[in-house]
């Protein structure tokens, strides 16, 4: 049985497309379609297992009820959990999520973004690595409904949901120092996004505040293209230089480092302390002990949804910048 369209239904029933359309959209009463006709249509539609073509509807109405969710890696628990919350919130409003991962790659980001735009997503929620890109500037200049999270570019005015990167990293590192850390190294992804820069800044501020001399040799940068190998190399460097504490700017490299420690430096897991931005379940059970900065995932999702909803209903954006307070988690 070939797929039926409204036209087919109308023909089969000897009615017009209009009538059928009205009834299928629950406007039967409002549009004075007789109960009898309504029932006839509804029954027939069920019988032939009719599925309205949402694509045609979207084209007609200029609205797809789709939100694009663009992140570096959807399988990173941080982004996966936020994605799940967004999915739930938007489901209630009749919106659905199209997802894309960028691997922090500018070309991929641009391509996915264009794909989203071409597919007429109604809004975008983006953890972008290149807020300055032409694609994003173009979106912004067209007032495209858009909220950034996790990443910021202070030169670009837009909607941002962020966390207090600098101050919370500072707090975490200071806490480590209070717990007797003397020599603290740091491993980070390439800090070309502001959140990472700020987290590093927080680390420096903590050292200064606690009168620990700063040594830029102890800041190690891992290339985004090969996290495993890069982290392995930088971890080795730091351990050989005798640090008692290693600070990580995000969960990804911290998790890799924990694995490396347990594989290659098993003897040291009790003598070294870790500090990490982001929190993952694993930290509760692993060695070295981790002091972590847990981002308020639920709030990030909630505020993103709210901003998007406001824009979508009022058709205007106010460019809010929301900075949330993470939670410091200490383990003993």
Partner DNA sequence: ATGAAAGCGCTAACAT
Partner DNA sequence: ATGTTAGCGCTTTCAT
Q: Which residues bind a copy of itself (CB under 8 A)?
A: 1, 3, 49, 51-56, 58-59, 64, 66, 73-75, 77, 80-81, 83-84, 87-88, 96-101, 114-115, 117-120, 138, 142, 255, 258-259, 262, 281-282, 284-287
Interface size with DNA, residues (CB under 7 A)? 29
CB of 60 to DNA, least distance (A): 4
DSSP string, 272-292: -EEEEEB--GGGGT-SS-EEE
> Which residue of 39, 42, 52, 137 would you call a contact of DNA, by CB under 7 A?
52
On the 0-12 / 13-18 / 19+ scale of CB atoms within 10 A, 172 is buried
- CB nearer DNA, residue 37 or residue 237: 37
CB of 204 to a copy of itself, least distance (A): 30
On the 0-12 / 13-18 / 19+ scale of CB atoms within 10 A, 105 is middle
CB of 3 to a copy of itself, least distance (A): 8
Query: Can residue 168 be called a binding residue for DNA (CB under 7 A)?
Result: no
- CB nearer a copy of itself, residue 40 or residue 108: 108
CB of 36 to a copy of itself, least distance (A): 27
Rg (CA), the chain: 26
CA-based angle 175:212:291, to the nearest 5? Answer: 25
CB of 134 to a copy of itself, least distance (A): 9
CB of 143 to DNA, least distance (A): 17
Site string for DNA, 3-42 (x = CB under 7 A): x-xxx--x---xxxxxx-xx-xx-----xxxx-xx-----
Is the previous residue joined to 288 through a cis bond, with omega within 30 degrees of 0? yes
Sequence-distant (≥ 6) Cβ neighbours of residue 158 within 8 angstroms: 131, 140, 146, 147, 148, 319
E strands, 72-189, where? 96-101, 123-126, 146-149, 159-163, 184-189
321 binds, among DNA, a copy of itself, none (CB under 5 to 8 A by kind): none
Sequence-distant (≥ 6) Cβ neighbours of residue 282 within 8 angstroms: 255, 258
Instruction: Please give the residue ranges that form the binding site for DNA (CB under 7 A).
Output: 3, 5-7, 10, 14-19, 21-22, 24-25, 31-34, 36-37, 52-53, 56-57, 59-62
């Amino acid at each position: 049985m070939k797929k039926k369209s409204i036209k087919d239904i109308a023909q089969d029933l000897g009615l017009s497309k209009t009538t059928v359309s009205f009834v299928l959209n629950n406007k039967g009463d409002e549009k004075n379609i007789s109960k009898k006709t309504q029932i006839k249509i509804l029954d027939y539609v069920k019988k032939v297992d009719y599925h309205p073509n949402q694509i045609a509807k979207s084209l007609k109405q200029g609205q797809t009820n789709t939100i694009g969710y663009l992140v570096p890696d959807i399988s990173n628990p941080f982004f996966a959990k936020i994605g799940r919350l967004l999915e739930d919130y938007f489901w209630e409003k009749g919106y659905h999520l199209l997802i894309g991962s960028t691997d922090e790659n500018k070309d991929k980001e641009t391509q996915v973004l264009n794909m989203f735009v071409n597919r007429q997503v109604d809004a975008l929620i983006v953890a972008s690595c290149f807020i300055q890109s032409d694609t994003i500037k173009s979106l912004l200049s067209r007032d495209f409904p858009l909220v950034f999270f996790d990443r910021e570019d202070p030169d670009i005015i837009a909607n941002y949901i962020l966390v207090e990167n600098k101050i919370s990293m500072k707090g975490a590192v200071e806490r480590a120092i209070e717990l007797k850390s003397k020599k603290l190294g740091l491993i980070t992804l390439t800090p070309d996004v502001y959140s990472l820069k700020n987290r590093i800044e927080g680390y420096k501020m903590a050292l200064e505040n606690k009168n620990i001399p700063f040594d830029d040799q102890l800041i190690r940068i891992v290339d985004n293209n090969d996290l495993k190998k890069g982290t392995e190399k930088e971890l080795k460097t730091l351990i050989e230089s005798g640090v008692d504490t290693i600070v990580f700017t995000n969960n990804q490299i911290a998790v890799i480092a924990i694995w490396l420690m347990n594989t290659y430096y098993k003897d040291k897991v009790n003598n070294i302390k870790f500090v990490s931005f982001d929190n993952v379940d694993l930290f509760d059970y692993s060695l070295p002990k981790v002091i972590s900065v847990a981002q308020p995932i639920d709030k990030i999702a909630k505020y993103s949804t709210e901003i998007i909803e406001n824009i979508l209903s009022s058709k205007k954006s106010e460019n809010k910048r929301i900075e949330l307070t993470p939670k410091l988690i200490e383990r003993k």
